[in-house]
Amino acid sequence: MTLKSLNIDKSWTLFLDRDGVINKKLDNDYVKHWMDFEFLDGVHDAMKILSGKFGHIVVVTNQQGIGKGLYRTEDLELIHKNMLYEIDYLGGRIDKVYFSPYLDELKHPTRKPGTGMGLAAKQDFPAIDFTKSIIVGDSITDMEFGRALGMKTVFITEEKRNDGKIDFNFPSLVEFALNL
């Protein structure tokens, strides 16, 4: 199976993880404020390409730093507002951002690998067909989220990883976009 063989068109939906896919992950810390947020190289170009290919693009991100009391929902919403503005300004598009503020140990259904954020997206955008959806993420929980909903999975990693949960490996979001 190749990406091109999927025949991706506007009937497809793209689910994106945030940290490590759109923006730089902070070592042993959380992106708590807009000044901590740094787009990864090539993301703006990737978003332009992806916006032309996919009917819906949504972000699904675990944000347990809120549950830990390290930042507030309002701080996260400001980060997302600025992120969406910049992506839109530079020719890309994200239709909606979903986040789960719950601690990992709570095993809340909205926290990946739980499927709650995907189901919320389907409720907001009824045209979403999970069999015509792709999740792009940098953790195995992202892949498990995608698998549980019947999506194709794209793992962002510098070194190719062989795992039954991963359909495709790419070093970055822009490399994925360029291979569609």
Exactly one of 19, 75, 138, 142 is catalytic; which is it? Answer: 19
Query: For residues 44 and 129, what is the distance between their CA atoms, to the nearest angstrom?
Result: 26
Query: For residues 7 and 84, what is the distance between their CA atoms, to the nearest angstrom?
Result: 27
Q: Which tokens in the block code for residue 147?
A: 């698998």
Exactly one of 9, 17, 95, 129 is catalytic; which is it? Answer: 17
Active site residue 41: no
Torsion sign over Cα 139, 108, 30, 56: positive
Asked if residue 26 lies in contact with residue 20, where contact means CB atoms within 8 angstroms, the answer is no
Three-state secondary-structure class, residue 156: strand
Active site residue 29: no
Residues noted as catalytic: 17, 19
